[in-house]
Amino acid sequence: MTQPVHFIGVDLGGTTITGGAVNVVSGQVLGRQQIPTLAKEGHDAVMARMVDLVHTIIADAALSKEDIGGIGVGLPGVLDMERGITLFLPNLPGAWRNVPLKATMEAGTGLPTYMLNDVRSFTLGEKTFGAGREVHTMFGLAIGTGIGGGMVINGQLHLGLDGTAGEVGHQIIDPYGPPCGCGSHGCLEAFASGPAITAMALKAITQGLTTKIAEMVDYDLNKVTPEIVCRAAQAGDPIAIDIYERAGFYIGVGVANLITIISPQMVVIGGGVAQAGELLFAPIRRTVQERVHVTPLEKVQIVPAQLGTSAGLIGAAVWASLQTALGK
């Protein structure tokens, strides 16, 4: 009997849920859908929406349930992958403690379901069909509301203990730095995530520094976002440019640490904040050049992700196919 080549990938985010039927041989995505998470309704309601989303994807892709090998779900937090439950999803109301996601999805869809951290999913997607498909050792870095990561070593996604390997955003950049949501102090995420960029902009405005950022949001500071800061920087605003320089510097320090420890062929950077392009990548690369002296940097590429907002769902589907092949 021929094994199915299509697996459903679902990427659960704080504001949207994205999914599609992925051909794990070609990387083609069929029936791609995106719906609001409506996380405030609670985890049971969100999982019911995920079940409905799977059925919609299968119908829109003109496939039958028999054509689907399984479901992979990328989730933003800490998981018990053995028991198929979420332990702590910090950006979702209630934090989803001890939620039986695997069993719920399997009961609602009749399909085997596998869980993976969302940034590990992003990394696996980029390794398999994106920027990292030609390399065997890489690090994936996603910069958005938080900063997450994933590691591929010798062609295999490295999960470490309980799937927690790759939490680059929680490496300590300054032990006396600001508090981080993880409970520590001075983490990279506290210095260079999307909210950190917004906080730097708000500080500049409230200090009365000359910047276009406030004008661009009609002086409604609640509307300041990393995207607004990026637009101001692209328009030549020196304060906004400096903010991205600082964020890029801190990310560069973090990437320099990773390169020194792992010696990867490639670092792939994605997520919403990375859409700033060279505003962010130039200081990252410059800082790496200044701080890495024991690794042959001419052999290390620092590149943008290629799969956009589909990376996570593609990686989740690939993960499901790998687990199915192992008979799990």
What are 106-146's pLDDT values in tens digits?
999 999 999 999 999 999 999 999 999 999 999 999 999 89
Angle between helices 43-60 and 101-109 (to 10 degrees): 40
Do residues 147 and 104 share a domain?
no
Q: How far apart are CA 33 and CA 120, in angstroms?
A: 21
Do residues 77 and 190 share a domain?
no
Q: How far apart are CA 11 and CA 37, in angstroms?
A: 10
Domain annotation covers residue 46: yes
What's the mean pLDDT in 267-282? 96
129 to 13, 132, 155, 262, 308: CA distances (angstroms): 21, 7, 13, 22, 12
Count how many domains the chain has.
2
Question: pLDDT exceeding 70 applies to what percent of the chain?
Answer: 99
**pLDDT at residue number 328:** 80
The model's confidence at residue 166, banded by pLDDT at 50, 70 and 90, is: very high
Closest CA to 99 of 82, 84, 120: 84
Q: How far apart are CA 326 and CA 314, in angstroms?
A: 19
Whether the pLDDT of residue 228 is over 60: the answer is yes
Do residues 271 and 158 share a domain?
yes
Q: H or E stretch including 278?
A: helix 278-291
Do residues 31 and 45 share a domain?
yes
63 to 7, 23, 55, 68, 321: CA distances (angstroms): 11, 12, 10, 8, 17
Do residues 46 and 88 share a domain?
yes
Residue labelled with tokens 């052999």: 299
Do residues 185 and 36 share a domain?
no
Do residues 11 and 115 share a domain?
yes
Domain annotation covers residue 191: yes
Whether the pLDDT of residue 1 is over 80: the answer is no
Domain annotation covers residue 185: yes
Domain annotation covers residue 300: yes
Do residues 291 and 316 share a domain?
no
pLDDT in tens, 295-314: 999 999 999 999 999 999 99
Q: How far apart are CA 299 and CA 297, in angstroms?
A: 5
Instruction: Report angle CA 152, 15, 59 to the nearest 5 degrees.
Output: 80
Domain annotation covers residue 182: yes
Q: Which two tokens stand for residue 14?
A: 């704080």
Whether the pLDDT of residue 225 is over 90: the answer is yes
Do residues 119 and 202 share a domain?
no
Residue 179, strand partner residues: 185
Domain annotation covers residue 23: yes
Q: How far apart are CA 308 and CA 40, in angstroms?
A: 26
pLDDT in tens, 54-99: 999 999 999 999 999 999 999 999 999 999 999 999 888 999 999 9
The model's confidence at residue 3, banded by pLDDT at 50, 70 and 90, is: confident
Burial-class residue 326 by CB neighbours within 10 Å (0-12, 13-18, 19+): exposed
Report the chain's mean pLDDT, rounded to a whole number: 96
Host domain of residue 281: 134-305
Q: How far apart are CA 271 and CA 194, in angstroms?
A: 10
The model's confidence at residue 259, banded by pLDDT at 50, 70 and 90, is: very high
Beta carbons within 10 angstroms of residue 313's beta carbon: 33
What's the mean pLDDT in 259-267? 97
What's the mean pLDDT in 6-22? 96
Q: H or E stretch including 223?
A: none
CATH number at residue 120: 3.30.420.40
Neighbouring residues of 42: CB distance < 8 A, sequence distance ≥ 6: 93, 94
**pLDDT at residue number 90:** 84
Q: How far apart are CA 165 and CA 169, in angstroms?
A: 11
Q: Are 86 and 79 in contact (CB under 8 A)?
A: yes
Do residues 78 and 141 share a domain?
no
Q: Which two tokens stand for residue 128?
A: 């398999």
At 11 the three-state DSSP class reads: strand
Do residues 148 and 234 share a domain?
yes
Domain annotation covers residue 1: no
pTM of the model: 0.95
Do residues 35 and 100 share a domain?
yes
The model's confidence at residue 241, banded by pLDDT at 50, 70 and 90, is: very high
